[in-house]
Amino acid sequence: MDIHCTDITKRFGTTEAVAPFSVTLAAGQTTALVGPSGCGKSTILRMIAGLEVPDTGSLTLGSEAPRDVARRGALSMAFQDPSLLPWRSVRANIALGAELARKPADGVDALIELVGLGGFADHRPAELSGGMRQRAAIARSLISAPEVLLLDEPFGAVDAMTRRRLNADLPPLWRGTTVVLVTHSVQEAVLLSDRVLVLSQRPARTVADIPVTLPASRDSGLVETPEFLALSQAVFAALEGV
């Protein structure tokens, strides 16, 4: 499902968060948004999710409004804050993603293992570390097999080794899904995406649009290749100019 943003803007009181912003994100591709802290990345993501409404301009997913896509269970989002229900177990929190989308919760236990929570399926959020709660939230966003997946710093709270493993294990699960990823990690942006949009200081504008010309199948060894390093340097150079 394509995402079409046409001259969208967003203001909070006297603060202009997003300047006229236009982009089309191709169906089935992963796009990373990188830029300075507070530049408007998460606001753009929330507008795509239908959680915020643009002040001006238009935003559609395919030909539908974001809220309509979310209402029929075809859109899922993992927030910076895991927001797990404290009275539900890990298994039940993950299954909630499918319940809300009115889809069968198939594969919950396999997904629990994949995100490294084997042995914790019956634990409640209070019994987990912050990184473990974040992994449960990521699994919850994936269980419904959405057409559009929005990820707001999804790996920020996990340790370095787990982050590396999730960077390798999760992308095959969302292959064919339209994914928008907000991250502060240039390496993660290049490793996981098909395209990197570098945004300006607030209000957010696109200052660089960098296609990621790497093989579809990627692993951690790719980060040492000249091609990967050249793409990372191009993103860094764009950020330095912001």
What is the per-residue pLDDT across 11-54, written as a single tens digit (0 to 9) for each? 999 999 999 999 999 999 999 999 998 899 999 999 999 999 99
Tokens found for residue 86: 């404290």
Q: In what order do the strands lie in the sheet with 178-182?
A: 75-78, 148-152, 178-182, 30-34, 195-199, 206-211
The amino acid sitting at 201 is Q
The DSSP string of 162-173 is HHHHHHHHSHHH
Sheet holding 56-61, edge to edge: 15-25, 3-12, 56-61
Q: Which domains does the chain have, with CATH numbers?
A: 3-74+146-240 (3.40.50.300), 81-145 (no CATH)
pLDDT at 106: 86
Mean pLDDT of the chain: 92
How high is the pLDDT of residue 160?
Answer: 80
Looking at residue 234, its pLDDT comes to 96
Check residue 104 and give its pLDDT. Answer: 87
Q: What is the pLDDT of residue 162?
A: 78
What does pTM read for this prediction?
Answer: 0.92
C-alpha span between 125 and 15 (Å, rounded) = 35
pLDDT in tens, 220-231: 788 889 999 999
Q: Which residues pair with 25 in a beta bridge?
A: 3
pLDDT of residue 136: 92
Report pLDDT for 175: 85
CA atoms within 13 A on the CB side of 172: 10
Q: In a 3-state reduction of DSSP, which class is residue 103? A: coil
**What tokens were used for 182?**
């907000």
Query: H or E stretch including 208?
Result: strand 206-211
> In the chain, which residues have pLDDT < 70?
157
**CA dihedral of 55, 61, 62, 68, whole degrees rounded to 10:** -100
